[in-house]
């Protein structure tokens, strides 16, 4: 049972329907505890107006999506590194509880996954140095292995925590049910992460069958992921952040009235989380 004040709305969930300003109002209207904006929506509204509107609505910012993408240009270019510094500034500007990192997949044309992984770690080191000085926690989001080719070569919670172990303070993980539900080691890895490094928790459901690996996530209760079980684990490990609902759904939820989407989230929080 999850009450709306324990829920945050990741703006990807209503990205086709609402601007950030509309999403902030929607969250307040439905009694949500927070919001998790994506940078495109944030930049569209402007960091200062967004920060003001979020504050006025009494919402927490569970995280800013997303920094990372270190492999996007085949090497760590200044453009990529600067964009990550900007992401830290934006996260700080809206009082985000962490900056979520989707670290990047294989560089275009590459077959060198080990090389991509070391490029990612080098990039994280550089972003982390700046993020530490800004007091902004950096959260690696491990992505399901099916995204290793094009989105993220960090694919398990264990792998993400190995990076955290090497990099030290100021970095942890954002765990997304969509990406972690299948992992036989997930429970021990959540305990290993501990309170300090559990920076974000994203929820949705895994549909059977999944029609599209990117844009066919399910509403909580419509799939096969053990959301209550995973939530119990992160909370037992000390996580006190919000449950950020992140549903990419081209065929279903993106086509609906966004107020209906938020009403459904509130209801499923009660019945399926
Ligand atoms: Zn996520």
Tokens 């080191």 sit on residue? 125
Average pLDDT, the chain: 98
Between helix 20-29 and helix 258-272 the angle, nearest 10°, is 50
Tokens 């989707």 sit on residue? 102
Residue 176 alpha carbon to ligand 1 centre in Å: 5
Residue 30 alpha carbon to ligand 1 centre in Å: 21
Residue 262 alpha carbon to ligand 1 centre in Å: 18
pLDDT of residue 43: 98
Per-residue confidence at 263, pLDDT binned at 50, 70, 90? Answer: very high
Residue 142 alpha carbon to ligand 1 centre in Å: 9
pLDDT of residue 206: 98
Residue 70 alpha carbon to ligand 1 centre in Å: 18
Residue 231 alpha carbon to ligand 1 centre in Å: 14
Residue 8 alpha carbon to ligand 1 centre in Å: 12
Query: What's the pTM?
Result: 0.98
> If you average pLDDT over residues 25-49, what whole number do you get?
98
Residue 147 alpha carbon to ligand 1 centre in Å: 13
Residue 141 alpha carbon to ligand 1 centre in Å: 7
pLDDT of residue 167: 98
pLDDT digits (tens, 9 = 90+) for 66-89: 999 999 999 999 999 999 999 999
The CA-CA-CA angle for residues 223, 226, 227, to 5°, reads: 90
pLDDT of residue 130: 98
pLDDT digits (tens, 9 = 90+) for 182-223: 999 999 999 999 999 999 999 999 999 999 999 999 999 999
Residue 46 alpha carbon to ligand 1 centre in Å: 23
Q: How far is CA 209 from CA 124, 150, 252, in A?
A: 35, 22, 14
Strand order in the sheet with 243-245: 60-61, 34-36, 7-10, 243-245, 198-203, 171-176, 138-140, 99-102, 64-68
pLDDT of residue 164: 98
Q: What percentage of the chain exceeds 70 in pLDDT?
A: 100
pLDDT digits (tens, 9 = 90+) for 115-124: 999 999 999 9
Residue 61 alpha carbon to ligand 1 centre in Å: 14
């Amino acid at each position: 049972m999850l009450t709306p004040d324990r829920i945050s709305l990741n703006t990807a969930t209503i990205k086709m329907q609402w601007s950030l300003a509309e999403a902030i109002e929607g969250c307040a209207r439905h009694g949500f505890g927070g919001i998790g904006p994506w940078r495109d929506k944030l930049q569209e509204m402007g960091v200062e107006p967004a920060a003001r509107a979020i504050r006025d609505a009494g919402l927490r910012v569970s995280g800013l999506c997303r920094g990372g993408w270190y492999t996007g240009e085949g090497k760590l270019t200044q453009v990529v590194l600067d964009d990550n510094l900007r992401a830290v500034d934006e996260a700080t500007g809206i009082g985000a509880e962490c900056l979520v990192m989707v670290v990047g997949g294989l560089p275009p044309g590459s077959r060198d996954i080990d090389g991509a992984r070391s490029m990612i770690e080098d990039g994280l080191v550089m972003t982390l140095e700046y993020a530490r000085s800004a007091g902004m926690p950096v959260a690696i989001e491990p992505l399901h292995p099916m995204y290793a080719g094009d989105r993220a070569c960090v694919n398990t919670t264990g792998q993400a925590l190995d990076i955290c172990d090497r990099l030290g303070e100021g970095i942890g993980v954002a765990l997304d049910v969509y990406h972690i539900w299948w992992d036989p080691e997930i429970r021990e890895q959540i305990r290993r992460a501990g309170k300090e490094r559990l920076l974000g928790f994203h929820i949705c459901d895994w549909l059977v069958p999944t029609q599209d690996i990117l844009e066919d996530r399910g509403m909580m209760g419509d799939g096969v992921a053990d959301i209550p079980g995973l939530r119990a684990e992160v909370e037992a490990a000390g996580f006190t952040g919000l449950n950020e609902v992140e549903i990419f759904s081209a065929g279903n939820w993106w086509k609906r009235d966004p107020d209906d989407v938020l009403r459904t989230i509130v209801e499923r929080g009660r019945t399926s989380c």
